Amino acid sequence: MNTTSTCLFNGCSNPALPTGKCEAHKNRTKCMVQDCTNQTYARNVCIKHGAKPKCQYPGCDSNVRSQGFCCKHGSNTTKNICQVDGCTKVAHARRLCVRHGGGQKCKIPECSKIARSKGLCYHHGGLSSVQSTTTSEDQDMLACILGNATDVDMTNIGDLLAASCNCDLEFTVEEHEMLDYFIMA
């Protein structure tokens, strides 16, 4: 009868190699404290046996996260808030949120929109939420509506779509952005 033992490390149920460790743990070392089956973290001991310093707060046995204290007792660092009175958004450049001028502008001359990716606004090729959610079915639907039209006035695309389905359509800003994306694709 051939019995296979499991890995010697705490919580591991993988089959052990002749060394007593599994394939995943074969290069790990065991805590030097007797009868401890945890992996070492630092100084040949596991975290439980002192590999990480403890919080300096009296009576706290949690591990240090920053500046000698655990996350519960450490400094409460918060993100900077926009300096405009009444605004609670996170500040970016010049201690302002994007709405109040803290964001980077599009690098295309004469464009005053906010850059989304690679220094460009969504209109000039930067990422937008529309790009990450479009599907090939959406693009196929638009191609079907437009047909083989090659000389389309894109400034009135909403009117063209409304005329193609014989209905009165009014598009929101988001829908116009989606149309811009589909047409650029």
Tens digits of residue pLDDT in 59-105: 998 888 888 888 888 876 667 889 999 998 888 888 899 888 888 88
Looking at 126, 144, 176, the residue that finishes a domain is 126
Q: Is residue 56 part of a domain?
A: no
Same domain? 109 vs 144? no
Instruction: Note whether residue 99 is domain-resident.
Output: yes
Q: Which two tokens stand for residue 25?
A: 């743990």
Residue 51 lies in a domain: no
- Tell whether 102 and 141 lie within a shared domain: no
Number of domains in the chain: 2
Residue 116 lies in a domain: yes
Measured over the CA atoms of residue 89, residue 95, residue 98 and residue 101, the dihedral's sign is positive
Are both 116 and 141 inside the same structural domain?
no
Compute and round to an integer the Cα radius of gyration of the chain: 30
Cβ-count burial of 8 within 10 angstroms (0-12 exposed, 13-18 middle, 19+ buried)? middle
pTM value?
Answer: 0.35
- 120 with 156, same domain: the answer is no
Give the model's confidence band at 183: pLDDT under 50 very low, under 70 low, under 90 confident, else very high.
low
Per-residue pLDDT band at 156 (split at 50, 70, 90): low
Asked whether the predicted pLDDT for residue 154 surpasses 60, the reply is: no
DSSP state, residue 50:
I
According to DSSP, residue 26 is labeled T
Q: Render pLDDT for 9-29 as a digit per residue (tens, 0 to 9).
A: 999 999 999 999 999 999 999
Two tokens, residue 174:
């988001």
**pLDDT class for 132, splitting at 50, 70, 90?**
very low
Mean pLDDT, the chain, as a whole number? 78
The structure tokens 């990422």 sit at 127
Where residue 58 falls among pLDDT bands split at 50, 70, 90?
very high
Copy the structure tokens of residue 14.
Answer: 């993988």
Q: Does residue 119 belong to any structural domain of this protein?
A: yes
Instruction: Answer whether residue 74 is part of any domain.
Output: no
Question: 122 and 151 share a domain?
Answer: no
Domain membership of residue 174 as a residue range:
136-184
pLDDT the model gives residue 130 = 44
- Do 99 and 117 belong to one domain? yes
Distance between start and end Cα atoms, the chain = 66
